[in-house]
Amino acid sequence: QVQLVESGGGLVQPGGSLRLSCVASGSGFSILAMDWYRQAPGKQRELVASITSGSSTNYADSVKGRFTISRDNAKNTVFLEMNSLKPEDTAVYYCYVGGTNGITRFGSWGQGTQVTVSS
């Protein structure tokens, strides 16, 4: 069983920055992809950024050039550095981790962390 704990959300003014972290804990698994999703009120959950085990990254068009995803494989942690934040970035942000225990693959979600961009 892999558990994810997110941190770093909060209230920030437009143009500000936040850094989200997500730590995966447990044993007997290897992490493959690590993703950040977000869900705004009344909208579907959307993929914000993803990073593979080889550190290849992918971003939603709406955040390209402003957000940076990175990972620390030794600590099973994924980060999302968010700069030049806009009110439309307001959402609950979730990390998602895909991995394997050597036999089967799994996917796990974090509990979510609120990001509010407002003056």
Q: What is the pLDDT of residue 27?
A: 82
Q: What is the pLDDT of residue 1?
A: 74
Q: What is the pLDDT of residue 91?
A: 98
**Pairing relation of β-strands 10-12 and 67-72?**
unpaired
Q: What is the pLDDT of residue 114?
A: 98
Q: What is the pLDDT of residue 59?
A: 98
Contact 87, 34 (CB under 8 A): no
Q: How far does the chain reach from its first CA to its final CA, in angstroms?
A: 40
Q: What is the pLDDT of residue 29?
A: 87
Which residues contact residue 92 at a Cβ distance below 8 angstroms, ignoring those fewer than 6 apart? 38, 39, 40, 112, 113, 114, 115
Averages of pLDDT over runs of 10 residues in the chain (119 residues) are 92 98 90 95 97 95 98 94 98 95 92 97
Separation CA 77–CA 70 (nearest Å): 9
